[in-house]
Structure 1
C-alpha cells in the first residue's frame, strides 16, 4: 500500500521526510501523472521576496554565465487509488506542474528559502511558493547485489563531494513540453508522455552517469518520493536491477564518466551504505530509507 510516511534523521543537511512510500514497488502501469497548471508554483505575496528570485539568479549568472534556466516538472503532491479486487492492487498519481531552474535557484537554493514556506502540515500548502522541481534517483543493484553510489564533484552547485544515487531530473523538453497546453486532446497525449518520461528519464540518467547500457537494466520500479528538510528539495526514487556485476560497472564508468557531475563510482553492500549515509544529502537518505522499506516488505512475502 502507498503510504504518506514521515521519517527523519538528525543533522540539517541529512534530515528528510518521506512524502510517499510504496514498499511493494510500482511498475510503470500503476504510476500515472496528473499534469496541470494548478500544480505550478504560487508567487509569494511579499513582492520583495519575489524580486529576490531575479536578484539571486542574476548574481549566479555573473558568477557562471553558462547557467541555463531549463524547464522542470514541479512536484505538487500525489494521490493513491485503490481498486476493489481481492489482491488490493493500488496505483499512484503524481501531481506535476511546471517550473524552471531560475526559480529553483531563487527559492529552494536561496539563503531566504525558509521565508517562502507557509506554516502547514499539508506539504503541498507548506511548499506552494517554492519551485520544488521533482528530482529523481535510482537505487541500482548489480548482479552481485551491490548498490551503485556516485561521489559528486566539487564543480556542482548542489551537495559537492557528497555521495548520491544516480539521477537528476525528468526533463519536460525531452517530451516536447515548454508550456501547458489548453487543447483537451493535446492534454491527454501530453499526460501520457509525461508519465512515460518519469520512467524513461531515470533510465537515461543511469546510463549517462554510470556508462551502463540501458539493455543491462531492468524496467524501473517506483518506490516513493522523499524530500530533504534543508530547502525542501523533493525527489522520486526507483529501484532498478542491473544484470552485470560491480567490477564491470566500475569499468564501464571509468570509460564513460566526464568528471563534471561525479568523480568516482562505488559499488557497496547495503550494510556498507548504512555506514556512508551521513554523507548522503537528505533526499537521498530518504531514497535509501525507501529502498530498505521495499527490502523489508519483500522479506515478509
Structure 2
C-alpha cells in the first residue's frame, strides 16, 4: 500500500496531476477483513473561525433549495484520514483503518461546493488538517469488470447536481442511515458501530452498482478496496473498489434499461481497458483518480 501519491490519467500514473490526488493506493486490493473503521466525532468537521465564511454555508444552501425543491439534507460519513498497517511477522496481510466522522449534504454544498471553497482550506501538508473546515463526505465508486472483460462506465444526466454530462463509474456514498446512525452516541458500543460502518463501506458500493446499472447483487463478486482519490477542485474524496460481474456486456445492457436509479445517467458504456484510459480526461477529477487506482491494480496483477 502507498500513501498520498499523485497520479495522472495516462501512464505513468505516478506523475502529478492538477485534477486529483491519490490519498491512498492499494494495488493488491483489500478484502473487507483488511479494512476497518474508526467512527468518532474527532473526525467531524471543524467550524471555520471566520464567521462570515461560516454563515455563507446557510446562505448557499438556502439559495440551492429555492432553485431545487427536491434537495434534502441527508447525513453522510466524513473522511478524516486513515492509518496504514503493513503485514509483518506471522501476519502477512496489509490493512487500512479509515477515520470517519459525520457530516451532511447541506454542509457539503456550503463548503466543498461553495464558490469560496478555497477559503475553507488550511495551508498544511497534512491532508486531514488542510481540509479540516470542509464537509468532505466520503463518496464511493466501482470499477466493474464484466465476464467478457469490459469495464462499465456511465454518462451522467444533465439534470444531476454533480458532474452533469460527465463519464463516471457507478457509485454514490456509504450511508449512515443504513447502519442506524444519525448522530454520535457515546453510550453505544463503539466497537460494534465501527464494524457496522466498515461493512457499510462494502455493502454500499454493491447497492450503488445494483441501483445504477440494474444487475442483481448475486452477479457481483465481493468488492476489493483499491484506494481513495480526492478531486483537487472542491477537495472531494471518494473510495474506489474493483468488482467482477458474472454477466456479460449484452446481458448487462438489457438490464440497464430498468435500473432503479437509471434517471441519474443517460447511457451505459462497455469499454476495454485501453478505451477506458482514453475516456479519462472526460471524467471528474476523483473518477480520474479512480481510473488511476484501477490501472495501478492492473499493473500489479501483471507483475505477480
* CA shift in 2, pair 1:14/1:218, >3 Å: farther
Residue 5 of structure 1 is matched in structure 2 by 5
CA apart distance, 1:151: 0.5
Matches within 5 A, 1:101-250: 101-183=105-187, 185-250=188-253
Aligned counterparts of 1:115 and 1:3: Cα–Cα separation in 2: 26
* CA shift in 2, pair 1:278/1:50, >3 Å: same
Q: Which runs of 4+ in 1 moved over 6 A?
A: none
Aligned counterparts of 1:148 and 1:87: Cα–Cα separation in 2: 35
CA apart distance, 1:257: 5.2
Aligned counterparts of 2:18 and 2:181: Cα–Cα separation in 1: 33
- Please, which runs of 5 or more residues in structure 2 have no aligned partner? 11-16
* 1:140–1:147 CA contact under 8 A, matched in 2: yes
Aligned counterparts of 1:152 and 1:16: Cα–Cα separation in 2: 19
**Per-residue Cα deviation, 1:70-112 (whole angstroms, up to 9, x for no partner):** 0000000000013433673210000000000000000001101
| SS class of match (2:78) | strand
**Is 1:255 matched up with 2:258?**
yes
* CA shift in 2, pair 1:268/1:134, >3 Å: same
Residue 80 of structure 1 is matched in structure 2 by 84
Aligned counterparts of 2:196 and 2:272: Cα–Cα separation in 1: 35
**Per-residue Cα deviation, 1:113-146 (whole angstroms, up to 9, x for no partner):** 0110011111101100000000000000000100
CA apart distance, 1:52: 0.1
| SS class of match (1:260) | helix
Aligned counterparts of 2:157 and 2:117: Cα–Cα separation in 1: 24
Task: With the length of structure 1 as denominator, give the TM-score of the two structures.
Answer: 0.96
* 1:76–1:97 CA contact under 8 A, matched in 2: yes
CA apart distance, 1:259: 4.3
CA apart distance, 1:278: 1.0
| SS class of match (1:97) | strand
* 1:14–1:278 CA contact under 8 A, matched in 2: no
- Please, which runs of 5 or more residues in structure 1 have no aligned partner? none
Residue 95 of structure 1 is matched in structure 2 by 99
* 2:113–2:234 CA contact under 8 A, matched in 1: yes
CA apart distance, 1:205: 0.3
Aligned counterparts of 1:143 and 1:109: Cα–Cα separation in 2: 38
CA apart distance, 1:2: 3.8
RMSD: 1.5
Aligned counterparts of 1:300 and 1:4: Cα–Cα separation in 2: 22
Task: With the length of structure 2 as denominator, give the TM-score of the two structures.
Answer: 0.95
